[in-house]
């Protein structure tokens, strides 16, 4: 299934049905009086967060969602039928934005959450409502209330506990493949990852979700490369894992490039808890590894971890460091397999 994290939709609630002007006329009844019924209410447009979806691809092929209008009222005090509602089923983690793409209408963060996007119009009153002691034969009825028309944006932000950051080919996809059942595309050229990937990672008998996003380059906030549009998928993460390629000749510059892009993106993303790890140490000898780690620690101003997604050296220590940054209520207990040795 193709990944799509931004979609524009056009919605309109149903208008209310008009009230009816009618009079009761029956044989042998001298004073029939008004009996016009009310119009039915228009259908509303709702959004609901559901399980089993991780993309907005459905909204690429259908952008217009119009609820049914209510039926007009009828004689004999009959009320018109209400219009049917329309429900937009979206993945958990979807933000609903107004047409300006800035005003947040709703943030769908829980399964089953429902939000009213456009309320249906009220049905008009029939002439029975206007009967009084001084006006016993009213010949007026209200028209139905018009529906609401809106243009909205749907923006998906994946629900993950850990977000992977780094330049293209920093080894993020390799790390995700080595620690989870996810199978992201891995190759020796930049921008192999073109859309976010999710994987469930386990360590010390607990599990958490890791999100791998396409690599950033200098100027990503200005649209260079793939840009920074996928950084929204790590906004909800509890902690960020910044991987730096240990084989690079400009380790400090690579580190500051990513930090600069986080700061340019805004949204307090640069202030999130962050763990920095030197990756690809399997191809470095002891002297090269020590020099690269020292350079990265000097750039970060804090101790950094060393690991290799290929040989899995240091991977468990990195996972444990991530686990310590995640609240207990976000962690999930890993299912136990009887008579099977535990492996981190």
Point out the annotated binding site for GTP: 166-173, 191-195, 212-215, 279-282, 308-310
φ, ψ of residue 231 in degrees (nearest 5): -65, -20
Residue whose C-alpha is closest to residue 90's, from 58, 44, 45, 43: 58
Residue 7 CA, chain-centre distance (Å), reads: 11
Q: 11 with 45: CB under 8 angstroms?
A: yes
Instruction: Write out the chain in H/E/C secondary structure.
Output: CCCCCEEEEEEECCCCCCCCCCECCCCCCCCCCECCCCCCCCCCEEEEEECCCCCCCHHHHCCEEECCCCCCCECCCECCCCCCCEEEEEECCEEEECCCCCCEEEEECCCCCEEEEECCCCCCCCHHHHCCCCCCCCCCCCCCCCCCEEEEEEEECCCCCEEEECCCCCCHHHHHHHHCCCCCCCCCCCCCCCCCEEEEEEECCEEEEEEECCCCCCCHHHCCCCCCHHHHHHCCCCEEEEEEECCCCCHHHHHHHHHHHHHHHCCCHHHCCEEEEEECHHHCCHHHHHHHHHHHHHHHCCCCEECCCCCCCCHHHHHHHHHHCCCHHHCEECCCCCCCCCCC
Binding residues for Mg(2+): 173, 193
Q: 194 with 215: CB under 8 angstroms?
A: no
Binding residues: 166-173, 191-195, 212-215, 279-282, 308-310
Residue 166 CA, chain-centre distance (Å), reads: 22
């Amino acid at each position: 299934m193709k990944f799509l994290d931004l979609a524009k939709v056009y919605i309109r609630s149903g208008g209310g049905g008009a009230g009816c002007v009618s009079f009761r006329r029956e044989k042998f009844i001298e004073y029939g009086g008004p009996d016009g019924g009310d119009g039915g209410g228009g259908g509303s447009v709702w959004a609901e967060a559901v399980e089993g979806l991780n993309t907005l691809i459905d909204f690429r092929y259908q952008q217009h969602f119009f609820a049914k209008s209510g039926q007009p009222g009828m004689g004999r005090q009959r009320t018109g039928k209400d219009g049917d509602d329309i429900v937009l089923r979206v993945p958990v983690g979807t933000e609903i934005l107004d047409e300006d793409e800035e005003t947040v209408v709703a943030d769908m963060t829980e399964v089953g959450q429902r939000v009213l996007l456009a309320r249906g119009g009220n049905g008009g009153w029939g002439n029975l409502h206007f009967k009084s002691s001084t006006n016993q034969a009213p010949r007026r009825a209200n028209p139905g209330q018009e529906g609401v028309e809106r243009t909205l944006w749907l923006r998906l932000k994946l629900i993950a506990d850990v977000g992977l950051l780094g330049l293209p080919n920093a080894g993020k996809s390799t790390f995700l493949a080595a620690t989870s059942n996810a199978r992201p595309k891995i190759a020796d050229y930049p921008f192999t990852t073109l859309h976010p990937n999710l994987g469930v990672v386990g360590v010390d008998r607990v599990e958490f979700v890791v999100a791998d996003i396409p690599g950033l380059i200098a100027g990503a906030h200005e649209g260079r490369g793939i840009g920074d549009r996928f950084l929204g998928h790590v906004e909800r993460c509890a902690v960020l894992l910044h991987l730096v390629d240990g084989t690079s000749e400009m380790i400090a510059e690579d580190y500051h490039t990513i930090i600069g892009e986080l700061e340019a993106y805004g949204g307090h993303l640069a202030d999130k808890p962050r763990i920095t790890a030197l990756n690809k140490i399997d191809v470095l000898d002891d002297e090269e590894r020590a020099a690269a780690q020292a350079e990265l620690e000097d750039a970060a101003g804090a101790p950094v971890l060393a690991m290799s997604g290929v040989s899995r050296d240091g991977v468990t220590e990195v996972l444990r460091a991530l686990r310590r940054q995640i609240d207990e209520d976000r962690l999930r207990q890993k299912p136990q397999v009887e008579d099977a040795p535990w492996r981190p």
